[in-house]
């Protein structure tokens, strides 16, 4: 089932009430009809509009339980507007922008919502890349790059996987890594690329265990080559330069290392759907994925993925 409003006025008409939003979530969460989480039964009745009670075992569920919308005190309509707006921002969404659009009093709320939604953008281990995939690491000085007079504290290392699509780029995957050892690189490949795929890398030792892990491995050794790395790994380098431009443009480079992974997810989400003609489809995917991830408490979001890295706010 792919069913989404084609444009803003259709969106406004579709989701004018809480009930309409809830119905939409219901259809996306249980496309084949309601299933009780406890007993698997499919008969149910509604209790006070928001609850669904299993007709077999009596278990009470709600359409938002166990999703990022769980326990929200805001109307679903606001969440829907937020998701529509996020999907419609071709170049990425900023917390300030979201705050303005929703008329939220607090910047913190907008920031938290965006981070929740970013968590719904890429699902690790699912929809892995396949075929031939270029993989390389790159330093992202992007956080401080172009900002004068600020000391460059630490650059961040990221690893990029870019699927070959003829001469172009198919889908991508990105991750921040602690170092370029096999211990960091191989799990990324396993989460991002189907076994049996061809992985194209340079001669770095960190990629050596690829074959042992079920991948076919093509190595291009850079040393002594006439061509530059960007010609040998053109897709990865193109992705990195777009990413740097995006971090600087949309987020003014104000991305702390500990939250970088979520920005990488947003970039990936948009990049992988860059050819999608309608924004409605992006909205649909976002709602669908938001229903598939567990709720995250605010404290966890503030901590970021790696609480040991310094929080640098600009
Ligand atoms: Zn049941």
Taking only the tens place, the pLDDT of each residue in 128-145 is 999 999 999 998 874 444
Inform me whether the pLDDT recorded for 11 exceeds 70. yes
Q: Write down the mean pLDDT value for the chain.
A: 84
Residue 103 has a pLDDT of: 93
Say how far apart CA 292 and CA 191 lie, in whole Å.
18
Tell me, in angstroms, the distance from the centre of ligand 1 to residue 304's CA.
Answer: 36
Q: How confident is the model at residue 254 (pLDDT cuts 50, 70, 90)?
A: low
Tell me, in angstroms, the distance from the centre of ligand 1 to residue 66's CA.
Answer: 16
Residue 222 has a pLDDT of: 67
Tell me, in angstroms, the distance from the centre of ligand 1 to residue 45's CA.
Answer: 11
The whole-model pTM stands at 0.80
Tell me, in angstroms, the distance from the centre of ligand 1 to residue 3's CA.
Answer: 28
Say how far apart CA 189 and CA 159 lie, in whole Å.
9
Residue 252 has a pLDDT of: 66
Residue 186 has a pLDDT of: 96
- Quick one: average pLDDT of 181-193? 94
Residue 67 has a pLDDT of: 87
Tell me, in angstroms, the distance from the centre of ligand 1 to residue 17's CA.
Answer: 28
Residue 223 has a pLDDT of: 66
pLDDT above 70 as % of the chain:
85
> Which of 26-30, 113-117, 122-126, 143-147 is predicted least confidently?
143-147
Position with higher pLDDT, 23 vs 71: 23
- Identify the three-state secondary structure at position 95: helix
- Quick one: average pLDDT of 282-303? 80
- Quick one: average pLDDT of 214-240? 82
Tell me, in angstroms, the distance from the centre of ligand 1 to residue 36's CA.
Answer: 5
Tell me, in angstroms, the distance from the centre of ligand 1 to residue 64's CA.
Answer: 17
Say how far apart CA 166 and CA 270 lie, in whole Å.
20
Tell me, in angstroms, the distance from the centre of ligand 1 to residue 291's CA.
Answer: 20
- Quick one: average pLDDT of 4-33? 92
Position with higher pLDDT, 153 vs 25: 25
- Quick one: average pLDDT of 4-22? 93
Tell me, in angstroms, the distance from the centre of ligand 1 to residue 1's CA.
Answer: 25
Tell me, in angstroms, the distance from the centre of ligand 1 to residue 30's CA.
Answer: 15
Tell me, in angstroms, the distance from the centre of ligand 1 to residue 43's CA.
Answer: 8
Tell me, in angstroms, the distance from the centre of ligand 1 to residue 61's CA.
Answer: 9
Inform me whether the pLDDT recorded for 214 exceeds 50. yes
- Quick one: average pLDDT of 12-21? 94
Tell me, in angstroms, the distance from the centre of ligand 1 to residue 28's CA.
Answer: 20
Tell me, in angstroms, the distance from the centre of ligand 1 to residue 32's CA.
Answer: 16
210, 217 contact by CB (below 8 A): yes
DSSP state of 310: P
Please give the backbone phi and psi of residue 14, each rounded to the nearest 5 degrees, phi first: -70, -40
Tell me, in angstroms, the distance from the centre of ligand 1 to residue 217's CA.
Answer: 48
Own/partner pairs for 144-152, CB < 8 Å, 24+ apart? 144/253, 145/244, 145/248, 145/253, 146/248, 146/253, 147/253, 147/314
Digit-coded pLDDT (tens) for 87-104: 988 777 888 999 999 999
Nearest to 183 by CA among 203, 213, 154, 222: 213
- Cα 279 from chain centroid? 16
Q: How confident is the model at residue 207 (pLDDT cuts 50, 70, 90)?
A: very high
Q: How confident is the model at residue 150 (pLDDT cuts 50, 70, 90)?
A: very low
- Quick one: average pLDDT of 197-212? 94
Q: How confident is the model at residue 305 (pLDDT cuts 50, 70, 90)?
A: low
Tell me, in angstroms, the distance from the centre of ligand 1 to residue 72's CA.
Answer: 25
Tell me, in angstroms, the distance from the centre of ligand 1 to residue 25's CA.
Answer: 20
Residue 148 has a pLDDT of: 37
- Identify the three-state secondary structure at position 262: helix
Digit-coded pLDDT (tens) for 43-62: 999 888 788 999 999 999 88
CA-CA-CA-CA torsion for 169, 167, 133, 117, nearest 10 degrees? 0
- Quick one: average pLDDT of 179-206? 94
Residue 189 has a pLDDT of: 96
Residue 147 has a pLDDT of: 42
Position with higher pLDDT, 225 vs 218: 218
Tell me, in angstroms, the distance from the centre of ligand 1 to residue 27's CA.
Answer: 19
Tell me, in angstroms, the distance from the centre of ligand 1 to residue 77's CA.
Answer: 29
Tell me, in angstroms, the distance from the centre of ligand 1 to residue 245's CA.
Answer: 50
Q: Show the beta-strand stretches assigned E in 48-110.
A: 51-54, 60-62
Tell me, in angstroms, the distance from the centre of ligand 1 to residue 57's CA.
Answer: 4
Tell me, in angstroms, the distance from the centre of ligand 1 to residue 18's CA.
Answer: 25
């Amino acid at each position: 089932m792919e069913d989404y409003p084609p444009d803003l006025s259709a969106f406004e008409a579709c989701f004018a009430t809480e009930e309409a939003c809830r119905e939409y979530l219901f259809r996306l969460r249980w496309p084949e009809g309601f299933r009780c989480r406890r007993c698997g039964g499919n008969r149910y009745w509604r209790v006070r509009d928001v609850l669904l009670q299993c007709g077999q075992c009596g278990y009470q569920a709600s359409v938002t339980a166990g999703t990022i919308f769980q326990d929200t005190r805001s109307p679903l309509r606001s969440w829907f507007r937020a998701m529509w707006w996020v999907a419609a921002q071709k170049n990425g969404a900023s917390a300030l922008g979201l705050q303005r659009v929703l008329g939220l009093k607090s910047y913190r709320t907008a920031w938290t919502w965006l981070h929740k939604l970013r968590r719904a953008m890429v699902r690790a281990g699912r929809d892995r890349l396949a075929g031939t995939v270029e993989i390389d690491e790159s330093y992202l000085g992007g956080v401080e790059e172009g900002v004068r007079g600020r000391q460059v504290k630490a650059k961040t290392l990221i690893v990029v996987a870019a699927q070959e699509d003829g001469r172009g780029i198919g889908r991508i995957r990105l991750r921040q890594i602690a170092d370029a050892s096999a211990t960091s690189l191989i799990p990324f490949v396993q989460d991002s690329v189907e076994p049996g795929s061809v992985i194209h890398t340079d001669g770095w030792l960190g990629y050596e265990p690829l074959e042992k892990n079920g991948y076919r491995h093509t190595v291009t050794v850079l040393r002594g080559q006439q061509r530059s790395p960007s010609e040998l790994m053109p897709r990865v380098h193109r992705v990195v330069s777009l990413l740097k431009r995006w971090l600087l443009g949309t987020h003014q480079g104000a991305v702390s290392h500990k939250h970088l992974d979520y920005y990488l997810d947003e970039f990936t989400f948009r990049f992988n759907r860059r050819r999608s003609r309608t924004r409605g489809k992006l909205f649909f995917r976002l709602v669908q994925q938001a229903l598939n991830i567990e709720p995250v408490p605010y404290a966890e979001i503030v901590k970021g993925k790696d609480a040991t890295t310094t929080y640098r706010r600009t």
